[in-house]
Amino acid sequence: MKIFPQKILFLNPPSVKPVFRDCYCSGYSKGTFCVHPLDLQIQSGFFSTEKFQVEFIDSVFENLDIEKTIKKIQSFHPDIIIALIGELFMEKDSAFFNHLKNIFPSVRLFFSGDIARFHPKKIFQDIPKTEGVLLDFASPGILEHLYGKKSPYLLTYKSHHVFHTPRMKSYQYPLPRKEFIRKYSYSLPFFHDPHYYSIGTSFGCPNTCHYCNTHLLGYTLRPIKDIIEELHLAARLGFKSLYIRAATFMADQSRTFQLFDKWKQSKLKFEWICFTRPDLLNEELVARAAATGCCLMMLGVESFDEKWLNHMSRPMPLNTIFNAFRLLKKYKIRSAAQIMVGMSYKYQNIDIYEKKLSVFLKDLDPDYVSFNIFSNRPGIEYNDPSFNQIELNEDLYKNLAIRLERHFYFHPHNIMKQMYHLKSPKKLLILINTILNLIKSKGIY
């Protein structure tokens, strides 16, 4: 076997539709939005010595089909492939990787993704020539394995029969490789400069919503000094926009204030966006987020039925939700409401539900809305009648999501809001693509 240097390819495999498979979650991307595959970005940092020659192919971002992806792989001729794999696309992903292994029999295959974390045995079953499955994307599991060491974070064919998934003690990893960051221009329309940098600040979630598997990962914070160091890297690379990749940013208020203090001391300036929960927001937090450059918060609203929210271990009075959106407006931070379509015990009739949700959204008045359809996440065994209702009528709810999305974004009030924020040709282009995507969607995606 060849020792060093080794050629490592980080690969987000092809897909007919835009998808994501990172951060232990797989699904279809909204509109034309593409985000950095964070697992691969973080892993790239472990291979920063001259012993490794690195290449990155994001077939989803480049819209490469299987044939074109294979051609690109051929021209790099890797020794090792570290790839993303998604539970939702397992059939197609495994067919692709088995095909790949036939073409490149000597290549060593490693995987990260939701299925890798929650059902790693399935990968060895469906892609038998897999060399290793990474249980923790912020761990040096693959690197240690390549140096012949045993790692609790990497399952191999030999070790996969008996294992337990280790809980991370710390969310610490080296800075990513610059070539990785520079390779593609991921863009989002929320910033003045749409070209943005993705940064991790915490892993997992301290909350325990029954439908979500993120809390099964535990909750670990990244050291503030590491975050600031990476902010310096982003600034050196010329980024002005930042996507904070944490499932629930600001879950710990005092720690968030410490981060904001250090950020301020560093004099680094970014526009930034994040995901968080309405019940975490208060005036001081929102004011300080705005002062640090926050331009958008994506808030998990999910339902307007308090009983359903309580039942899901997500107690959230509606006035708390309204208050959070009011605060964002006051401090000129745009808001995006995440809604899980159909989640209500009170309104089972889909037409009545649609009307009630429309009224709720009109009152809430977010700048953006994302309508999501429930799907059973790997690792989750909890069941509820509301989940069954969606699963039994999936097409109906998918069509409803598209109707609601069109209704929201084509409403004159919201068109005016979007126009107000359109201040660059790049943003206009992204918006046109998004609109075309909305028009093209035929109902079922």
Chain residues binding ligand SF4 by CB under 6 A are: 205, 207, 209, 212, 214-215, 247-248, 277, 300
Q: Which residues contact 110 (CB under 8 A, 6 or more apart)?
A: 80, 81, 82, 83, 130, 131, 132, 133, 134, 142, 154
Instruction: For the CB of residue 285, give the shortest distance to ligand SF4 in the complex, in Å.
Output: 16
Residue with Cβ nearer ligand SF4 (183 or 277): 277
Please say whether the beta carbons of 391 and 155 come within 8 A: no
Instruction: For the CB of residue 410, give the shortest distance to ligand SF4 in the complex, in Å.
Output: 29
Residue with Cβ nearer ligand SF4 (135 or 299): 299
Residue with Cβ nearer ligand SF4 (143 or 297): 297
Alpha-carbon distances, residue 349 vs 87, 92, 342, 344, 398 (angstroms)? 31, 35, 9, 10, 15
Residue with Cβ nearer ligand SF4 (215 or 222): 215
Instruction: For the CB of residue 164, give the shortest distance to ligand SF4 in the complex, in Å.
Output: 22
Residue with Cβ nearer ligand SF4 (36 or 377): 377
Residue with Cβ nearer ligand SF4 (73 or 343): 343
Please say whether the beta carbons of 316 and 306 come within 8 A: yes
Residue with Cβ nearer ligand SF4 (130 or 214): 214
Instruction: For the CB of residue 245, give the shortest distance to ligand SF4 in the complex, in Å.
Output: 12
Residue with Cβ nearer ligand SF4 (156 or 376): 376
For the chain, what is the HEC assignment?
Answer: CCCCCEEEEEEECCCCCCEECCCCCCEECCCCCCCCCHHHHHHHHHHCCCCEEEEEEEHHHHCCCHHHHHHHHHHHCCCEEEEECCHHHHHHHHHHHHHHHHHCCCCEEEEECHHHHHCHHHHHHHCCCCCEEECCCCCCHHHHHHCCCCCCCEEECCCCCCCCCCCCCCCCCCCCCHHHHHHCCCECCCCCCCEEEEEECEEECCCCCCCCCHHHHCEEECCHHHHHHHHHHHHHCCCCEEEEECCCCCCCHHHHHHHHHHHHHHCCCCEEEEEECHHHCCHHHHHHHHHHCEEEEEEEEECCCHHHHHHCCCCCCHHHHHHHHHHHHHCCCEEEEEEECCCCCCCCCHHHHHHHHHHHHHHHCCCEEEEECCCCCCCCCCCCHHHHHHHHCHHHHHHHHHHHHHHHHCCHHHHHHHHHHCCCHHHHHHHHHHHHHHHHCCCCC
Instruction: For the CB of residue 247, give the shortest distance to ligand SF4 in the complex, in Å.
Output: 4
Instruction: For the CB of residue 57, give the shortest distance to ligand SF4 in the complex, in Å.
Output: 29
Residue with Cβ nearer ligand SF4 (245 or 277): 277
The tokens for 185 are: 């221009």
Residue with Cβ nearer ligand SF4 (233 or 318): 318
Instruction: For the CB of residue 299, give the shortest distance to ligand SF4 in the complex, in Å.
Output: 10
Instruction: For the CB of residue 249, give the shortest distance to ligand SF4 in the complex, in Å.
Output: 10
Instruction: For the CB of residue 306, give the shortest distance to ligand SF4 in the complex, in Å.
Output: 16
